[in-house]
Structure 1
C-alpha cells in the first residue's frame, strides 16, 4: 500500500523522469516538499488501471477508500517558516539562542510584553500593576479568564510558582536569572494577585522577559536540566501550541484557539529546517516556505526580482562579535577551559582589536546591510546605544597593533610569528558556526588581519551546539558570537557580569565573555536601580564603554535582519518596531500572530488530501515502481547531505 503524505528525509523535488507510460498516465503530480512526499493520482484513471490489472491477474476488484481530509484539505492554512539556526532547547528555563527563545515566545506569555510600534512595555498576563513609593513592592493583577492550552485556568499561583522556581533552583535561572537575582520574595495572595518584593529598586519590573509556566505541569519536574519539554502537545498559554518537536528535523505549532488576545488568523505554524540560508532561499522561491530571515546580502539581493516575494530590510537589533577568552572561570573564580594565556592580558586584547577592519566587514561581508560595531546595544535602540567617539575608538591600525604587541612582550620570531614569554608561537584558535554565512565569510578576514600582525590563527567551524558546549567550557581562544538585544538593555548587559559565569559543575549562568570586573558590575547594578530614564541611559552607556575598554569582545557590526516572505500566501505581517522593524522578532510574537493569509491563497503545509488505496497483488506491480523511485531518491539525498 502507498499512502499520500509518506514522510521522507530530506525534502526537495523528486527530480526523476517517470518513463513508464502507465505511471505517467496515473500521476497528476509527484513531489517532495518539506520532507513530505505528495502523490496526486487521477482517481478515474486509477480505477481504470486497477480494473485492467485485476482482470489481467484474475483478481476481484479491491475497495478504494478516501482518507479523512487533513486540515489543509479542509481549508486550514499553514504558515511555513524557514529555520536555519539550531534550537538549543524548548525548555524555557534553559534556552538562550535566538531560535529557542523565539519559539518560547510563541508558547508562553509573559507578565508584560513590548508594544509592536515603539516597544514600550504593555500588558500581557498582567492587565495592570502598581508599585510602592519606595519601588520595592510591585503588585500585578492577572487578567481573568485566561486558560492553559489543556483547559486548566491560569492564575497568579502559576506566576508565583515560575518565579519561585527560579529563586530556588540554580538551573532554572540559566536563561533569565538576571531578572530575579534582586528578588526578595514572590507571593500570590489570591488567584489574581502577584506581589513581588525586591531587595533594591529594580527598573526592569515592567520588562521581565520570563515565560510563565503551568504549575500543574512543572511542579512534577524533578530535573530541570534534563527536562526536554517536548512531549507534545506542550501545555502553554501563548498564541500557539507546540504539537510536534523533533530536534533539527521538524517543529510544528497549532494556533491556540483559546488565546486570550484571540486566535491567530491561520491554523498551523510550521518551522522547516534547512542546513543553510542558500537552501532556505531556494525553498522560498519555489514556494516551499512562506517566510525567511537571517538572509545574507547575496541571498537577499537574489530575491529582488523573484516573483511573489516581498523583501523586508529590517533595522538591525542584533550584533555580531568576536570574543577573546580573558581567562574563563566559574562564578567562584575557579579557572576552567584551555584559553591561550596571552589573552588574559588586556593590552594584548586591545592591540589585537586594532587589527580588525570593521568597515570591510560591513562592505565585504554584510554587503552594506550593516553598520560598524561599537557598544553592546544596537543603534535601533537610540536611547541606550553607545558608540565610541574619536578619542575613544580603536580604529583599524595594524601599525599600532604591531607596536603594542611588541611592547606587551610578544616579539616576532621565525617566519614572522610572534612568540610569548615562554618562547612558544602565538597561535590562536578561532571558533565559529558551520553554516552561518557571517562566520564563514568573516573568518578568512580575521585570520588574515591577525596574520598581518604576526599571530597565527587556526579556524574551527562546528555546529551550533558544539559552539555552545565549547564556549561554555572556556575551551576556545577566539569565538564568533552574537545576540539580539531587547528594548530594555538589562539582559544584554547582564551577560558580562560576574554572577553569570557557570557554577562548579559548569551549569547555570549565561555568560557571554567570562568577564568579571568590579567596575562593570557596579555600573550594571546602578543602572538596574535607576528609574530616571536619562540617568539610566547614561549608566548603560558607561557600562558599554567599560566593556569596550576591557576588550573581552569586539562588536564587529550591527547587521540588518534581512527577511522575505511570499506575498501570494501571506500579508499584513506586523513589524517590530513599526516602521522599519523585523517580522521574526526574538523579543515579541507580533509578526507571527498578526499574519493574515491572502484571500484565495491555496491551503498548504498541514498535509495532503488524497486517496489511500488498498491494492491487491496485481496492483503492487505498478505501484512498487513508485516505491523504488522514492527509496532511490531518499538514499541519494541522504548521501548528498552527508
Structure 2
C-alpha cells in the first residue's frame, strides 16, 4: 500500500515480517514484504529467529561455510568515512541501522527500530528499538544511547564525515529511555527514514569500541549485524563469522571467507574451478567472460539492473567547464549508445538523469544529448574554444576500454583528455575535495535526496558533501527544499521533476548511464539477492546440500 506523509503522521509503522526470515525459510529468491500502516488493523511484527524456523525444509549442506571473492582491499569499516561498493557490502552485514531497505524497491523497512511514529507536522520521529540486539565482542545490548552517539558523531565536524550532510536536517536527538530514540528535524523531511538506514551515516556504532581502538577502529569494527569480523589478513583475506547475538536469530551461514582476488579473469577461473563459491563484480569482465561464466554448468548469475547512475564530474576550478556550452559539448561529443552496445551490453545502459528510473521522483522526457560531434564543435566555438582544450581526467584505471573510446571521441572535437591515474584512496579524497579537472562517480543510493541534495545543494559543496562542482542555483535550491518538505510523494515529485529539467539543460553533472551489478555463484548457494545499493545481505543465504 502506498503511504503518504499525511497517512503516516501520528501513526505507528509496524515492523515487517522479516525479508530475511521469509527467504531463508522458503528458499525463494522472490521478495515479498508486508508493512503495517494506515488502514491496517495492526502492525505486522517481526519474529526473531524466524529465519531458522523451517531450516529442515531447506536441505542444508552439512558445512555452512561460504567463500566469496573480494576484489578490493578495503580502507576500513568506519561508517562515518567508508566508501566503495565492495567495502559497503561487508559493512552492510556487520552493522545495522534504525531502518534497512527492501532489496527490490529500496524503500525503508524496520531494522533496529521495530516501529516508529511520526508527529502530525512531520518533524518528530519516535523510534522504538528491539530489546534483544547485542553488540559484537560482548559489548552488551544496543540502547538508545548508542544511536544518539552514532548520529551525533557523524554530525560532529571533527569526525570529518563526508556523509554529515545526510543528517543535516536533524535538530536534536534524545534518548528518553534505553529503547526509545526521539529525533527532531529542523523541517519536515519526507525521506528521513532513508537517512537512518543501514548505509553510511545510518549505521550504528559503539562509543566504547570507537574509543578503545581509536585510529585503528576501521580495521576493528564492532557492529550489531548478522556477522562479525573474525580476522583480516591485509591484502589476502577476511573472515566473517555468524553473530550469535543477532536479534533476528543466528544466520544459517557459520563462516564467510573473503579471499582477495583483484583481477576478474583469475577470479572467474576460481569460481569455475570451485575455489570460491560466490563471485562479486562479475561485471568488471568482458562480455565474452561474462557469457562464458553464465554458460558454465552449475553456476547462477545474479543481476540488479540499473541500480545506480554513472555521472561525469566537472572540476569546480577548471575554467572551460564554467561555461554551460562546454559542458553540453562534452555530452554531444561521445556516442554513449555505441559504447554501451559494443563494450558494456551486460553491465551498463545509457541514461541521462542523475536519478535512476526506479526512484519515484524520476522525471520522464528530460533533455537528452544524442551523439552530434558537429553540434559539440559549434558549442565549443560559441564558448570561446574553437580549437578545443586540454583536460586531465582523474581516474583509477586508464586501461578501461570504454574510457579509451571516450577519450578518442572527445579528441575528434578538439578536447584532448589525459588520464591522471591514482590509487583508489587518493582518488576518493581528491574527488571529495573537488581537486580535479574531470572525473566520474558511480553512487548507489535509495534516497533521492542523497543524489539531488548531494550533487546540487550549495550546503553540500565540496569538501562538505558530494557537490564537487560547487553548483549553486537559487531556483534549484528552493525547489529541492520544497520537495524535501513536501507532504506527499506527488508534491515531492513535482518539485524534484522541475529540478531535473533545469539540470538537464545546465548540465552541472553529466549523467551518461546506469550500471547493472552482476554476481555469479555456484547454484548450491541459495538466496543471493543484490539490493538497490549493490549489497548482498548474507543473512538469508545458505548452502544447499550438494
How far apart, in 2, do the equivalents of 1:500 and 1:409 lie?
30
Q: Does 1:596 align with 2:510?
A: no
In the alignment, what sits opposite 2:483?
Answer: 527
The 5-angstrom pairing of residues 40-59 of structure 1 reads: none
Q: Does 1:456 align with 2:416?
A: yes
Q: What is the CA distance between 1:454 and its match in structure 2?
A: 1.2
SS at match of 1:484: coil
SS at match of 1:236: coil
How far apart, in 2, do the equivalents of 1:356 and 1:515 lie?
23
The question of whether the paired residues in 1 share the 8 Å contact of 2:377 and 2:386 is answered with no
In the alignment, what sits opposite 2:395?
Answer: 432
How far apart, in 2, do the equivalents of 1:182 and 1:134 lie?
15
In the alignment, what sits opposite 1:99?
Answer: 86
SS at match of 1:315: strand
In the alignment, what sits opposite 2:380?
Answer: 405
In the alignment, what sits opposite 2:307?
Answer: 317
Cα distance change of structure 1 residues 536 and 465 upon mapping to structure 2, 3 Å threshold: same
How far apart, in 2, do the equivalents of 1:429 and 1:219 lie?
41
After TM superposition, where is structure 1 displaced by more than 4 Å over at least 4 residues in a row?
219-222
Q: Does 1:479 align with 2:467?
A: no
In the alignment, what sits opposite 2:38?
Answer: none
Cα distance change of structure 1 residues 524 and 81 upon mapping to structure 2, 3 Å threshold: farther
Deviations 1:376-407, CA, capped at 9 Å, x for gaps? 122233x2333544xx2222111111111111
The question of whether the paired residues in 2 share the 8 Å contact of 1:571 and 1:595 is answered with yes
Deviations 1:9-42, CA, capped at 9 Å, x for gaps? xxxxxxxxxxxxxxxxxxxxxxxxxxxxxxxxxx
How far apart, in 1, do the equivalents of 2:275 and 2:470 lie?
42
Residue in structure 1 matching 2:448, options 489, 507, 516: 489
Residue in structure 2 matching 1:539, options 495, 498, 506: 495
Q: What is the CA distance between 1:156 and its match in structure 2?
A: 0.9
Deviations 1:217-276, CA, capped at 9 Å, x for gaps? 235677xxx454213xx3210011012234543222111122111111111122222222
SS at match of 2:431: helix
SS at match of 1:146: coil
The question of whether the paired residues in 2 share the 8 Å contact of 1:361 and 1:557 is answered with no
Residue in structure 2 matching 1:378, options 320, 343, 356: 356
Cα distance change of structure 1 residues 368 and 124 upon mapping to structure 2, 3 Å threshold: closer
Cα distance change of structure 1 residues 472 and 136 upon mapping to structure 2, 3 Å threshold: closer
Normalising by the residue count of structure 1, what TM-score does the alignment of the two structures yield? Answer: 0.70
The question of whether the paired residues in 2 share the 8 Å contact of 1:139 and 1:193 is answered with yes
Q: What is the CA distance between 1:489 and its match in structure 2?
A: 1.1
Q: What is the CA distance between 1:440 and its match in structure 2?
A: 0.8
SS at match of 1:316: strand
In the alignment, what sits opposite 2:206?
Answer: 214
Deviations 1:284-306, CA, capped at 9 Å, x for gaps? 11111111232233321121321
The question of whether the paired residues in 2 share the 8 Å contact of 1:434 and 1:464 is answered with no
Cα distance change of structure 1 residues 510 and 202 upon mapping to structure 2, 3 Å threshold: same
The question of whether the paired residues in 1 share the 8 Å contact of 2:209 and 2:217 is answered with no
SS at match of 1:206: helix
The question of whether the paired residues in 1 share the 8 Å contact of 2:526 and 2:543 is answered with yes
Residue in structure 1 matching 2:129, options 131, 137, 142: 142
SS at match of 1:229: helix
How far apart, in 1, do the equivalents of 2:234 and 2:483 lie?
38
In the alignment, what sits opposite 2:41?
Answer: none
Q: Does 1:467 align with 2:423?
A: no
How far apart, in 2, do the equivalents of 1:87 and 1:510 lie?
21
Deviations 1:486-508, CA, capped at 9 Å, x for gaps? 1x2121223213222345xxxx5
SS at match of 2:439: strand
Cα distance change of structure 1 residues 118 and 378 upon mapping to structure 2, 3 Å threshold: closer
The 5-angstrom pairing of residues 205-354 of structure 1 reads: 205-207=192-194, 208-209=196-197, 210-218=202-210, 226-231=215-220, 234-294=221-281, 295=283, 296=285, 297-327=287-317, 340-354=318-332
Q: Does 1:185 align with 2:172?
A: yes
The question of whether the paired residues in 2 share the 8 Å contact of 1:323 and 1:480 is answered with yes
The question of whether the paired residues in 1 share the 8 Å contact of 2:332 and 2:371 is answered with yes
Cα distance change of structure 1 residues 388 and 450 upon mapping to structure 2, 3 Å threshold: farther
Q: Does 1:156 align with 2:133?
A: no
The 5-angstrom pairing of residues 484-633 of structure 1 reads: 484-486=444-446, 488-496=447-455, 497-502=457-462, 508-568=464-524, 570-573=525-528, 575=529, 582=530, 586=533, 589-590=536-537, 592-600=538-546
Q: What is the CA distance between 1:171 and its match in structure 2?
A: 4.6
Normalising by the residue count of structure 2, what TM-score does the alignment of the two structures yield? Answer: 0.81
SS at match of 2:271: helix
Q: Give the number of equivalent residue pairs.
A: 476
The question of whether the paired residues in 1 share the 8 Å contact of 2:280 and 2:520 is answered with yes
Cα distance change of structure 1 residues 279 and 112 upon mapping to structure 2, 3 Å threshold: same
The structure whose Rg is larger is 1
How far apart, in 1, do the equivalents of 2:508 and 2:193 lie?
30
The question of whether the paired residues in 1 share the 8 Å contact of 2:231 and 2:240 is answered with yes
How far apart, in 2, do the equivalents of 1:547 and 1:171 lie?
33
How far apart, in 2, do the equivalents of 1:219 and 1:517 lie?
41
The question of whether the paired residues in 2 share the 8 Å contact of 1:314 and 1:562 is answered with yes
Cα distance change of structure 1 residues 221 and 290 upon mapping to structure 2, 3 Å threshold: closer
The 5-angstrom pairing of residues 360-379 of structure 1 reads: 360-367=338-345, 369-379=347-357
> Unpaired segments of 5 or more residues in structure 2?
1-60
> Unpaired segments of 5 or more residues in structure 1?
1-73, 328-339, 413-417, 419-425, 576-581, 601-642
Cα distance change of structure 1 residues 345 and 171 upon mapping to structure 2, 3 Å threshold: farther
Q: CA RMSD in A?
A: 2.4
Cα distance change of structure 1 residues 166 and 311 upon mapping to structure 2, 3 Å threshold: closer
